[in-house]
Amino acid sequence: MTGGALLRVRRLPLDTGRENVAFLSARCQALRPEVFRGFSRVAISDGAATLIASLATMDHGDILEPDELGLGEPAFRRFGRPEGAQVSLAPAVPPESLDAVRRKIAGQTLRPDELGAIIGDLAAYRYSDIEVTAFLVGAAGFLSSEELLSLTRAMADAGTRLHWERLMVVDKHCIGGTSMIVVPIVAAHGLVMPKTSSRAITSPAGTADTMEVLARVDLDIGDMRRVVETCNACLVWGGHVRLSPADDVLIGVERPLGIDTRELMVASILSKKLAAGSTHLLIDIPVGPHAKVRDGHDAMRLRKLFEFLGDRLNLAIDVAVTDGRQPIGRGIGPVLEARDVMAVLARAPDAPADLREKSLRLAGRVLENDPMLRGGAGYARAAELLDSGAAMAAMQRIIDAQGPPPAQATLGRLTREVVAPHEGVVAGIDNLRLNRLARLAGAPVAKGAGIELFRRIGDRVARGEPLYRLYASEPFEFEFAGAAAERDNGYEIGAA
């Protein structure tokens, strides 16, 4: 409490990203804003709940009354109190777990309880972005095997833990994706696969972004259970059900900084699968010069790390190392990728053959977990379910159960074809560059933005022949993406 003064909560339509931000009017008489300028964070409390936030002052305008405390959208949502609720303001006491962060930066090994305290404070948004960065730098420097195990468990325990009344709950994670075909195939077979996925952070489309072209993905836990009980599976956004919420905080800071170690990536993936109640997990690791995993040696080290943690966490893990030299399918971006998925499920004659084949192979490996299926029969069973239309029917049931998407998504109206500068053979495709171009075009926020591929590795091309088509919805994004494609189109054209 600060002198017993109370303020009224006011919801402000401001997206402040990951951080909780509160706003105080410069005209406030009850609490002078300058009193708090020496403190980086404040504690907002109504006696029952407390929220830690950064404090900003509104110097001009009449947006806030003198007796109001404005909360940005993330802070208002996390505080969970209605507008008009009376709260007090006080300088926030720094989390005790920051002492453990400092020891980690100094190279010391942390105990399980210390890592648990750090993750608990992260999940409660008690850390500023600078403090999150400090922990990431310390963890990226060195994590012992036991620390990694404790970190993964703490991340899984910090949010919702789902439990399914099934002996086997299968799941799949791809470091770049075929889930929307694998999930309905597995569901049609009868295995349970509650698939939670992320929205894109640095890519032009996460599985949740693509599925949202077809159906609602922001389901709560009750709706998620209902869909799984009805359809054997779901394809939903994991952020809405708070699976490993500390991971979302860490990812939001580590990706822009380029902090992406094997250990942190494995903890991120397995903590969410553990929280989702999975018992059997397939990990797909695409390998290629422009993929996240560049060569076979790195893939082997990553596989062993997954297997080590899987054994200790009682997760049966199967790791598939696949070809990541070029994009799978023809589309990059939510609408284009959803179109590819539905073409494969509908057995369309022009469906991308590479997407179909990889999806069948991965689905077959998931199906091999079924003790009633003969060994080696997974691929044939997956193909049977796809070719008979059973997988498409399962996908339609999932779409119907999850409900319609929040808005209809269509392809961007602005298009531009990027052509080969000279004759030759496609010798290489820079996946990361194409992803960057699709994001410049507006994906995934603009679901119809992206890239439609025409040529793949090994194809002969003539000078001026289209390599791919850019789609955008807004003129300025269209111009950005087109100019960037002129500088570097992401294709290597070798001698004919």
Structure tokens at 425: 């053979």
What does the alpha-carbon distance between residue 340 and residue 205 come to, in Å, rounded to a whole number? 13
Contact 221, 241 (CB under 8 A): yes
Catalytic: which of 157, 260, 298, 459? Answer: 260
Q: What residues form DSSP beta bridges with 233?
A: 193
Residue 36: name the closest of 24, 27, 49 by CA: 24
Write out the DSSP string of 436-452. Answer: HHHHHTTTTTSTT-EEE
What does the alpha-carbon distance between residue 55 and residue 42 come to, in Å, rounded to a whole number? 7
For 187, 309, 342, 362, 376, the CA distances from 366, given in Å and listed in that order, are: 11, 19, 21, 6, 11
What does the alpha-carbon distance between residue 212 and residue 467 come to, in Å, rounded to a whole number? 28
Q: Which 3 state secondary structure label does DSSP give 145?
A: helix
Residue 378: name the closest of 393, 392, 360 by CA: 360
| Those residues with Cβ within 8 angstroms of residue 428's Cβ, 6 or more apart along the chain or in another chain | 289, 290, 325, 457, 491, 492
Contact 178, 391 (CB under 8 A): no
Contact 443, 480 (CB under 8 A): no
Q: Where are the beta strands (DSSP E) in 26-159?
A: 42-45, 50-58, 68-71, 86-91
User: Phi/psi at 24 (nearest 5 deg)?
Assistant: -120, 135
478 membership: H or E segment, kind and range: helix 475-487
User: Phi/psi at 194 (nearest 5 deg)?
Assistant: -80, 90
Q: Residue 248 half-sphere exposure, CB side, CA atoms within 13 Å? A: 21
What does the alpha-carbon distance between residue 31 and residue 51 come to, in Å, rounded to a whole number? 18
235 membership: H or E segment, kind and range: strand 233-237
Q: Specify the pairing of strand 450-453 against strand 86-91.
A: unpaired
Q: Residue 397 half-sphere exposure, CB side, CA atoms within 13 Å? A: 20
Could you count the other beta carbons within 10 Å of the beta carbon of residue 373? 16
Q: Which 3 state secondary structure label does DSSP give 171?
A: strand
What does the alpha-carbon distance between residue 207 and residue 205 come to, in Å, rounded to a whole number? 7
Residue type, 308: F
What does the alpha-carbon distance between residue 145 and residue 455 come to, in Å, rounded to a whole number? 44
- Active site annotation includes 260: yes
Structure tokens at 57: 């002052």
Give me the active site residues, please: 260
